[in-house]
């Protein structure tokens, strides 16, 4: 959709006299997903746990999910019960999901969410009032769902944005119900409790913003600089990171701590290279040299086939995709660095090897490490010295990858100890996080 003009929502129906038709009472009584629901933002007995229980989710399964969320957020296991307690009483929060210049890949990932499923966690526990792809209403009724949420719950709803925001030609490259997508983002995100961008296009423009693109595509943070935004880049983003971000807010009343690019540390705080199951082969100098060769069949490192893992910050190896089944490198394809800024231009050609990846040191190449280890088993003491050098230089990984600084070490008190109510919202050197007003 990089350069195509779009006007989704289609023709807006009108009555015989040219006026809008009377609202359908069935649509008024149903949410975006077409099921009967209470008004957005209902509190009191309208809790998440009750909705899950009513749909057959046992307390045991709920507690397992809370433990998984604690792990995803890089919190000690003891925080699982605290998350469970917070979610048990959390009210349903209205959520609107906007789509601009995108391929809908993040929506596809969203619909395949598990632990628990999207129907149980989001469609039931959050009041999903607007999502073009999956909502039942159409035309004016669909846009009324959006305007009603903004009017009735200013500063009380979560906005999720998928897709880039075109600004060239006054934003006419993406129109929805006759409005530019830019104007929708400015209004919706400007009045939201918090905004979550999903996917690389909403993060910094992604593919539509690549060199030569005619639409002037930009990320949400550039369009609404005053909004509270947390970015979940990826092509697509991992839905577990979206779930964990929402759970963090519902539990602690604050956004997770983020780096200088607005990405949560729990998901983007470590080099993908350091978490990869093929890292041992990199260290041993064992590389795939051509598709289908012996190294490829044995699962060796894909660095020489263009893998961008040594310069990419993401948690793909640990959370994986498709119900945690796999991820690109495990499936045999190198990382393309899609969580990094301007990856389409900065990381391409995708099958060209990085010239000097960080990890050992900027003055030691992967070839040198591989030759040294393969050439002489007796040189183990040298290898030990190299690893020590690695640890000394690891603090420079973020700078080598264009980041703002090393990831801080966060020491959390165990639940029950003084200060154990919520994790630090802004570790040293981090931006973002903090209370949402």
What CATH number is given to the structural domain containing 295? Answer: 4.10.480.10
Res 208 pLDDT > 80: yes
Helix or strand run (H / E) with residue 434: strand 434-435
Q: pLDDT above 70 covers what percent of the chain?
A: 66
From the list 184, 192, 186, the residue with the least C-alpha distance to 228 is 192
Whether 433 is covered by a domain: the verdict is no
In terms of domains, do 150 and 292 share one?
A: no
In terms of domains, do 329 and 238 share one?
A: no
Least confident window among 92-101, 138-147, 326-335, 371-380: 371-380
In terms of domains, do 40 and 179 share one?
A: yes
In terms of domains, do 200 and 307 share one?
A: no
Number of domains in the chain: 2
Res 170 pLDDT > 60: yes
Whether 53 is covered by a domain: the verdict is yes
Least confident window among 240-249, 264-273, 395-404: 395-404
Show which of 218, 233, 268 is a domain's final residue: 268
Show which of 223, 244, 268 is a domain's final residue: 268
Range 333-341 average pLDDT: 96
What's the pLDDT score for residue 10?
40
Per-residue pLDDT reduced to its tens digit, 373-426: 344 333 333 444 444 444 444 445 544 545 544 444 334 444 444 444 555 544
Range 31-37 average pLDDT: 38
Q: Quick one: how far is CA 127 from the chain centroid?
A: 20
In terms of domains, do 102 and 174 share one?
A: yes
In terms of domains, do 354 and 301 share one?
A: yes
* Residue, of 327 and 47, whose pLDDT is higher: 327
The b-or-e profile of 292-327 (16+ CB within 10 A means b, else e) is eeebbeeebbbbbbbbbbbbbbbbbbbbbbeeeeeb
What's the pLDDT score for residue 126?
76
Res 48 pLDDT > 90: no
Tell me the pLDDT band of 62, cut-offs 50, 70 and 90: confident
Tell me the pLDDT band of 240, cut-offs 50, 70 and 90: confident
In terms of domains, do 53 and 180 share one?
A: yes
Whether 8 is covered by a domain: the verdict is no
3-state secondary structure of 229: strand
What's the pLDDT score for residue 171?
95
In terms of domains, do 100 and 224 share one?
A: yes
Residues of the domain holding 84: 27-268
């Amino acid at each position: 959709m990089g350069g195509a003009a779009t006007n989704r929502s289609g023709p807006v129906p009108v009555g015989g006299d040219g006026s809008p038709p009377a609202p359908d009472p069935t649509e008024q009584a149903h949410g975006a997903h077409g099921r009967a629901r209470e008004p957005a933002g209902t509190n009191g007995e309208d809790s998440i746990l009750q909705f899950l229980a009513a749909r057959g989710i046992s307390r045991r399964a709920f507690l397992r999910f809370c433990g998984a969320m604690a792990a995803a957020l890089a919190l000690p296991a003891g925080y699982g019960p605290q998350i469970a307690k917070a979610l048990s009483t959390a009210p349903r929060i209205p959520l609107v999901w906007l789509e601009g210049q995108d391929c809908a890949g993040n929506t596809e990932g969203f619909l395949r969410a598990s632990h628990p499923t999207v129907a149980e966690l989001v469609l039931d526990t959050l009041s999903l009032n607007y999502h073009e792809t999956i909502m039942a209403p159409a035309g004016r009724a669909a846009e009324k769902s959006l305007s009603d949420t903004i009017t009735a719950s200013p500063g009380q709803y979560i906005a999720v944005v998928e897709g880039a925001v075109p600004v060239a030609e006054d934003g006419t490259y993406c129109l929805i119900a006759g409005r530019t997508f830019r104007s929708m983002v400015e209004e919706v995100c400007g009045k939201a409790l918090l905004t979550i961008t999903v996917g690389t296009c909403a993060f910094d423009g992604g593919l539509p913003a690549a060199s030569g693109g005619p639409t002037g595509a930009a990320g949400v943070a550039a369009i609404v600089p005053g909004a509270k935004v947390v970015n979940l880049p990826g092509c697509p983003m991992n839905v577990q990171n979206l779930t964990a971000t929402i759970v963090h807010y519902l539990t602690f009343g604050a956004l997770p701590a983020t780096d200088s690019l607005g990405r949560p540390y729990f998901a983007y705080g470590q080099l993908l290279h350091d978490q990869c199951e093929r890292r041992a082969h990199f260290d041993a100098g064992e590389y795939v040299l051509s598709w289908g060769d012996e190294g490829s069949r044995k699962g060796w490192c894909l660095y020489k086939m263009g893998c961008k893992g040594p310069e990419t910050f993401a948690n793909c190896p640990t959370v994986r995709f498709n119900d945690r089944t796999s991820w690109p490198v495990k499936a045999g394809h190198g990382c393309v660095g899609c969580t990094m800024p301007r990856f389409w231009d900065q990381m391409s050609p995708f099958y060209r090897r990085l010239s000097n990846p960080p990890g050992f040191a900027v003055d030691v190449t992967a070839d040198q490490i591989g030759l040294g280890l393969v050439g002489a088993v007796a040189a183990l003491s040298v290898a030990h010295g190299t690893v020590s050098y690695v640890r000394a230089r690891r603090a420079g990984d973020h700078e080598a990858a264009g980041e703002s600084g090393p990831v801080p070490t966060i020491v959390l008190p165990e639940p029950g100890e003084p200060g154990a109510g919520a994790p630090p919202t802004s570790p040293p050197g981090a931006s973002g996080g903090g209370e949402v007003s």
